[in-house]
Amino acid sequence: MWCGQEFVARGGGVHALARYHGVARRLVLAYKERGRRDLARPLGEVLAGVVPHLPGARPDAAGMWWLVPAPSRRSAARVRGGPHVLELARRCAAWMAAQGRPVAVAPALRLDAGARDAVGLDQAQRVANLAGRLRLHPDGAPPAGTPVVLLDDVVTTGATVGACTAALRAGSVEVSAVLALTAAG
Is residue 172 domain-resident?
yes
User: Are 26 and 19 in contact, with CB atoms under 8 Å apart?
Assistant: no
User: Are 174 and 145 in contact, with CB atoms under 8 Å apart?
Assistant: yes
Determine the pLDDT at residue 119: 64
Average the pLDDT over 50-67 and give the result. Answer: 96
Which pLDDT tens digit goes with each residue over 109-159?
988 776 656 666 666 766 666 667 788 898 899 999 999 999 999 888 888
CATH number at residue 175: 3.40.50
d(CA 148, CA 59): 8
Greater confidence (9 vs 142) lies with 142
Residue 4 predicted with pLDDT over 60: no
Is residue 154 domain-resident?
yes
Is residue 52 domain-resident?
yes
Is residue 149 domain-resident?
yes
Give the up-direction half-sphere exposure of residue 118: CA atoms within 13 A in the CB hemisphere. 21
Is residue 17 domain-resident?
yes
Least confident range from 16-20, 96-100, 114-118, 146-150: namely 114-118
Residue 169 predicted with pLDDT over 80: yes
Work out the percent of the chain whose per-residue pLDDT is above 90: 57
**How many C-beta atoms surround the C-beta of residue 40 within 10 A?**
19
Is residue 1 domain-resident?
no
Which pLDDT tens digit goes with each residue over 63-82?
999 999 999 866 555 566 66
Average the pLDDT over 80-89 and give the result. Answer: 84
Determine the pLDDT at residue 11: 39
Q: Structural domain of residue 120, as residue ranges? A: 6-183
Residue 39 predicted with pLDDT over 70: yes
Give the up-direction half-sphere exposure of residue 161: CA atoms within 13 A in the CB hemisphere. 29
d(CA 130, CA 165): 12
Angle between helices 159-170 and 123-130 (to 10 degrees): 30
Is residue 40 domain-resident?
yes
Determine the pLDDT at residue 123: 65
Residue 106 predicted with pLDDT over 80: yes
Determine the pLDDT at residue 92: 98
Q: What's the number of domains the chain is made of?
A: 1
Residue 15 predicted with pLDDT over 80: yes
Is residue 153 domain-resident?
yes
* Length of the chain in terms of residues written: 185
3-state secondary structure of 105: strand
Q: What is the mean pLDDT of the chain?
A: 84
